[in-house]
């Protein structure tokens, strides 16, 4: 569904992604790991359509379409979801109103009628239960005054509501205690179907105890330097990133 070819991108003239290629098939979970500053979040931003990132080379095709030519909202309506590393607060806008707008915009895009108020509330209730979100969260303003953990859980709830084909979770596990981590991971596992895919960006192996990836990539200095099965995550956890850095540097020297 997603085919990234030799993607290069920079922010304010500084080169961040230096040629990334990645192929995601329906139903796969890809984990992207890597040290700070390696370009993980930039990759997520590019896929979601943030405008401050300049694409300098390469292509991204999503179900055969040129993803980079699509606006952020069209990408969302076509099924791309970004779980934000730092979810944004929107004071005064209720979660209900926010989600209703989002869900109905997506339905409109696909030629469907908007959900009636009662159907929508029913859907919200179902999804709240599915991802074990406290009912009260949904009655508050979007992320306003939420704790770090609540914000992340709210991202998972929104993901459940929007049923994306490709969900990109940008360090959703950072700052979570073990209970919140479990709720987030369970949410992902429940939403996971045979035809939707996930790109899980994380620092740590511990999230991958709960979400089992099909493929693990290591991103370092704007490149994917290693790709392997889920055992790679364990190796990284045990040995840190230094050995990867050394390997890469040796390659450069060689």
CA distances from residue 37 to 21, 178, 222 in whole angstroms, order as listed? 18, 25, 9
- Closer residue to other proteins (CB): 62 or 220: 62
Which secondary structure element, helix H or strand E, spans residue 243, and what is its range?
Answer: helix 242-253
Among 55, 102, 121, 225, binds other proteins (CB under 8 A): 102
CB–CB of 220/245 below 8 Å? Answer: yes
Q: What is the DSSP letter of 130?
A: H
76 sits near other proteins (criterion: CB under 8 A): yes
What is the C-alpha to C-alpha distance for residues 88 and 135, in angstroms, rounded to an integer?
20
Look at the block and give the residue holding tokens 């990132």: 53
Helix or strand holding residue 36 (H, E): none
Residue 136, number of CB atoms within 10 A of its CB: 8
The residue among 49 and 222 lying less far from other proteins, judged by its C-beta, is 49
Among 9, 20, 32, 48, the residue binding other proteins under the rule CB under 8 A is 48
117 lines the binding site for other proteins (CB under 8 A): no
Of residues 24 and 161, the one with the C-beta less far from other proteins: 161
- Binding flag, residue 55, other proteins (CB under 8 A): no
Between CA 144 and CA 126 the distance in angstroms is 23
Contact between 111 and other proteins per CB under 8 A: no
Please select the residue that binds other proteins; options are 73, 119, 126, 195, rule is CB under 8 A: 73
Q: Which of 166, 203, 164 is nearest to 181 (CA)?
A: 203
From the list 20-28, 98-106, 114-122, 211-219, the region that binds other proteins by CB under 8 A is 98-106
Token pair of 154 as six digits = 């709210």
Per rule CB under 8 A, is residue 91 in the interface with other proteins? yes
Q: In terms of CB distance, is 146 or 241 closer to other proteins?
A: 146
Cα first-last separation, the chain: 36
The span from the CA of 235 to the CA of 228, in Å, is 11
Which of 88, 178, 238, 253 is the binder for other proteins (CB under 8 A)?
A: 88
Please report whether residue 105 would count as binding other proteins according to CB under 8 A. Answer: yes
> Helix 148-162 to helix 117-130 angle, to the nearest 10 degrees?
120
Asked if 52 is part of the footprint of other proteins (rule: CB under 8 A), the reply reads yes
46-54, 121-129, 146-154, 236-244 -> range binding other proteins (CB under 8 A):
46-54
Contact call for residue 109 and other proteins (CB under 8 A): yes
Note the residues at the interface with other proteins (CB under 8 A): 48-52, 71-73, 75-77, 81-82, 84, 87-88, 90-94, 97-98, 101-102, 105-106, 109, 141, 158, 162
């Amino acid at each position: 569904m997603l085919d990234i070819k030799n993607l290069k991108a920079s922010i304010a003239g500084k080169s961040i992604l230096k040629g990334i290629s990645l192929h995601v098939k329906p139903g796969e979970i890809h984990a992207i790991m890597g040290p700070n500053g390696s370009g993980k979040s930039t990759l997520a931003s590019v896929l979601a359509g943030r405008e401050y990132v300049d694409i300098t080379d390469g292509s991204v095709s999503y179900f055969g379409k040129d993803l980079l030519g699509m606006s952020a909202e069209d990408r969302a309506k076509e099924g791309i979801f970004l779980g934000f590393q730092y979810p944004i607060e929107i004071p005064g806008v209720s979660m209900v109103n926010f989600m209703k707008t989002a869900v109905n915009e997506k339905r409109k895009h696909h030629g469907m009628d908007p959900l009636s108020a009662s159907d929508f509330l029913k859907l919200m209730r179902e999804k709240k239960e599915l991802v074990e979100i406290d009912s009260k969260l949904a009655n508050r303003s979007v992320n306003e005054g939420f704790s770090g953990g609540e914000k992340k859980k709210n991202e998972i709830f929104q993901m459940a509501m929007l049923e994306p084909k490709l969900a990109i979770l940008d360090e959703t596990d950072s700052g979570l205690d073990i209970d919140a981590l479990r709720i987030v991971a369970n949410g992902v596992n429940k939403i996971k179907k045979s035809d939707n895919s996930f790109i899980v960006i994380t620092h740590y192996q511990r999230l991958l105890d709960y979400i089992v990836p099909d493929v693990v990539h290591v991103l370092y200095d704007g490149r994917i330097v290693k790709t392997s099965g889920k055992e790679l995550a364990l190796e990284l956890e045990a040995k840190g990133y230094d050995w990867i850095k050394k390997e890469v540097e040796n390659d450069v020297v060689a």
